[in-house]
Amino acid sequence: MGCKCGSIETANCHCGRIVGINGNMLTVEFYGTVRQNEVAYVVLGESRLKAEVIRIRGRYADLQILEEPKWLKVGGHVDFTGELLAVELGPGLLTQVFDGLQNPLPELAKQCGFFLKRGVYLDALPRDEKWKFTPVAKKGDTVKAGDTIGTVPEGIFTHRIMVPFSLKGRYSVERVATPGSYTVDEVIAELKDKKGSIVKVSMVQKWPVKVPLKCYSERLMPAETLLTKIRILDTFFPVAKGGTFCVPGPFGAGKTVLQQLISRNADVDVVVIAACGERAGEVVETLREFPKLIDPRTGKSLMERTVIICNTSSMPVAAREASVYTAVTLAEYYRQMGLHVLLLADSTSRWAQALREVSGRLEEIPGDEAYPAYLESVIAAFYERAATVKLHDGSVGSVTIGGTVSPAGGNFDEPVTQSTLKVVGAFHGLSRERSDARRYPAIHPLDSWSKYCSIVKPEDLQLAQKTLRDGNDVAQMMKVVGEEGTSIDDFIMYLKSEYLDTVYMQQNAFHAVDGTVSAERQSYTFDKMVKILGTKMVFDTKDAARIFFQSLTQKTKDWNYADMDSFEFKELEAQLDKMIGEVAARAKNLQ
């Protein structure tokens, strides 16, 4: 058998040949050394298709091919690289749209036109662009992995050029480039290790995606609320910077819309969007609209703080798994600069399904719904990469991870949802009943939970939650005994909870004012809610009570839709106060 590297049957041989093809799984006979999870290229005519080693048995390695396997043949040549699947890190990642293997899609479109083309791998970072470098480290400084050598401006951020994360131990700085413009490939520093060998550093470095980036001094407790401007989240089921949350829900319940809203409004520096195995159209919305939307925090376009990783459902399945890791690695990279990063993954179930497909082809013993037994640990390890960390220079950065889950049949009692629930800090469960009734966002107010800190006072929150629970109890009871069998006080409790649900838990995402509600306004409105919920009310008939709450609801909605600085806002508030004042007075008189 001819071997291109000429070193057949020795440890130095990097070649192999295909002996079996089953979907996107190749069995490859190899002659030298092979590393688990290393990248290999399958040669097909002029092109080379990326694959990843996922199992080794004797002389055979099983590879998942990260492209369409069409037209491969038994006997086909395989080149092993010895390197793990890695991404490029450096300035120029922001505003980009990558596929799961970090191919820049706009550049790919320039080269290949309307369609994706397999075997085309472009540089993730533009090679001709120059960055304005300002040195930070000086000759003679002692540095270690992750320390800042210099900075370049990247859009709205100061991008830190850091000592490569893969370097171990301490180095002394031999040379740092003078201020000026450099491309990512130019050497901007030379470092010397203890033995005196020189390491040349450029602005781009590689990092294997499946290895968490840990160049920080300690992990901190996620304490600060990550504001989303969505009432039901910030007030009831908050997310913390450095925390994790999941959004399971049946199809069409609003997972993607919710993530899109969060990606626009979240109070973080950088947002990484991983479109994993879902619709291409949804990514198009983001990538076409973000450049036009202004981020109120910076006054610049939203795209400037965004990176999109896009491996949609018709793109190669095996690359789906890579895509979530690519995304989290980019997020960790920006965290190293002391930034707060939010990673949104839609949908983690598609990634889990990719794992399942592979596991099935490897003929591993299947667990529940044919998912592999290690599903739970894989999911846990992924969410573990979220954290608030203190970096070596004392600055604080965070990666927050939010993933959607798409359970089969909308039933949360399935492996992906259950494994995820065990590890996340907040659960935003979407319900079919609520989305059918157009109660958006369709987050279930009783089933959902969060371990993080809300923006309102705990005792107020408890009152609101008790109202919702009690109201629900009454509603359930009414189903059995009817309205006539329900006491008027219970009925009022029910109306109060419906009121809170309608005007506070629900929010019109498409409305200019109601769509995004600042923390300040949320607290203000919530105080009003608390006051209303705590008001004792007496009505002669249930119909009278219902009519009162209907007009109260409409008034409050109008109030929600009014700009907080407007005259209308004050006027509507006065009318609301008057309505409440009148019922309260009546209740008092009757006592």
Partner 1 sequence: MRRIYNKIEQIVGNVITVIADEVAYGELAKITSPEGSSLAQVIRLEGDRVSLQVLAGTKGISTHAEIRFLGHSMKTPFSKSLIGRIFTGSGEPRDKGPAITENMIDIGGPSVNPVKRVIPRNMIQTGIPMIDVFNTLVESQKLPIFSIAGEPYNPLLARIALQAEVDIIILGGMGLKHDDYLFFRDVLEKNGAITRSILFIHTAADPTVECILVPDLCLAVAEQFALQGKRVLVLLTDMTNFADSIKEIANTMEQIPSNRGYPGDLYSQLASRYEKAVDFEGAGSITILAVTTMPGDDVTHPIPDNTGYITEGQFYLRNGRIEPFGSLSRLKQQVNDKTREDHRAIMDSMIQLYAMYKESIEKQSMGFRMSAWDNKLLKYGERFEREMMDLNVNIPLEQALNLGWQILADCFQPAETGITTKLTEKFWPTIASNSAS
Ligand X SMILES: Nc1ncnc2c1ncn2[C@@H]1O[C@H](COP(=O)(O)OP(=O)(O)OP(=O)(O)O)[C@@H](O)[C@H]1O
CA atoms lying within 13 Å on the CB side of residue 522: 25
Binding-residue pattern over the window 376 to 415 for ligand X, x denoting contact by CB under 6 A = ------------------------------x---------
Residues 228-257 that bind ligand X (CB under 6 A): 249, 251-257
By CB under 8 A, how many residues form the interface with partner 1? 79
Whether 489 contacts 536, CB under 8 Å: no
Per partner kind, with CB cut-offs from 5 to 8 A, the member of ligand X, partner 1, Mg ion, none near residue 441 is ligand X
Q: Is 369 left (phi over 0), alpha (psi -120 to 50) or beta?
A: left
Per partner kind, with CB cut-offs from 5 to 8 A, the member of Mg ion, partner 1, ligand X, none near residue 158 is none
CB of 403 to ligand X, least distance (A): 12
By CB under 6 A, how many residues form the interface with ligand X? 13
Give yes or no for residue 502 binding partner 1 (CB under 8 A).
yes
User: Pairing mode, if any, of strands 157-162 and 148-154?
Assistant: antiparallel
CB of 272 to partner 1, least distance (A): 16
Q: Is 173 helix (H, G, I), strand (E, B) or coil?
A: strand
**Cβ-based nearer residue to ligand X, 487 or 508:** 508
**Cβ-based nearer residue to partner 1, 75 or 458:** 75
CB of 473 to ligand X, least distance (A): 27
Per partner kind, with CB cut-offs from 5 to 8 A, the member of ligand X, Mg ion, partner 1, none near residue 190 is none
Give yes or no for residue 567 binding partner 1 (CB under 8 A).
no
In 217-353, which ranges are E strands?
218-220, 244-248, 270-276, 306-311, 340-346
CB of 268 to ligand X, least distance (A): 20
Give yes or no for residue 435 binding Mg ion (CB under 5 A).
no
Binding-residue pattern over the window 269 to 308 for ligand X, x denoting contact by CB under 6 A = ---------x------------------------------
Which residues, other chains included, contact 487 with Cβ-Cβ below 8 Å and sequence gap of 6+?
Answer: none
Quote the CA–CA distance of 241 and 225 in Å, as a whole number.
6
The DSSP code sequence of 379-409 is: HHHHHTT-EEEE-TTS-EEEEEEEEEE--GG
Whether 560 contacts 568, CB under 8 Å: no
Quote the CA–CA distance of 381 and 388 in Å, as a whole number.
16
Binding-residue pattern over the window 392 to 431 for partner 1, x denoting contact by CB under 8 A = --------------x-xxxx--------------------
What's CA 519's distance to the chain center, in Å?
A: 22
The residues with which 536 forms a beta bridge, in sequence order, are none
CB of 428 to Mg ion, least distance (A): 14
Nearest 10 degrees: CA dihedral of 516, 522, 528, 532? 80
Give yes or no for residue 463 binding ligand X (CB under 6 A).
no
Per partner kind, with CB cut-offs from 5 to 8 A, the member of partner 1, Mg ion, ligand X, none near residue 567 is none
Q: Is 182 helix (H, G, I), strand (E, B) or coil?
A: strand
Binding-residue pattern over the window 215 to 254 for Mg ion, x denoting contact by CB under 5 A = ----------------------------------------
Give yes or no for residue 48 binding partner 1 (CB under 8 A).
no
Find the binder of Mg ion among 24, 95, 151, 256 (CB under 5 A): 256
Nearest to 421 by CA among 409, 408, 431, 407: 407
Residues 542-571 that bind ligand X (CB under 6 A): none
Quote the CA–CA distance of 351 and 366 in Å, as a whole number.
17
Give yes or no for residue 6 binding partner 1 (CB under 8 A).
no
**Cβ-based nearer residue to ligand X, 306 or 406:** 406
Q: Is 30 helix (H, G, I), strand (E, B) or coil?
A: strand
Question: Could you count the other beta carbons within 10 Å of the beta carbon of residue 158?
Answer: 13
Per partner kind, with CB cut-offs from 5 to 8 A, the member of partner 1, Mg ion, ligand X, none near residue 484 is partner 1
Quote the CA–CA distance of 443 and 448 in Å, as a whole number.
7
Give yes or no for residue 487 binding partner 1 (CB under 8 A).
no
Binding-residue pattern over the window 430 to 469 for partner 1, x denoting contact by CB under 8 A = ------xxx-------------------------------
Find the binder of ligand X among 5, 116, 478, 509 (CB under 6 A): 509
Find the binder of partner 1 among 9, 218, 285, 577 (CB under 8 A): 285
The radius of gyration of the chain's CA atoms, rounded to the nearest angstrom, is 28
Q: What are the C-alpha distances in Å from 453 to residues 233, 234, 243?
A: 11, 9, 11
Element (H, E) at 557: helix 542-561
Question: Could you count the other beta carbons within 10 Å of the beta carbon of residue 254?
Answer: 24
CB of 298 to ligand X, least distance (A): 25
User: Pairing mode, if any, of strands 449-450 and 306-311?
Assistant: unpaired
Per partner kind, with CB cut-offs from 5 to 8 A, the member of Mg ion, ligand X, partner 1, none near residue 198 is none
Find the binder of partner 1 among 6, 12, 83, 117 (CB under 8 A): 117
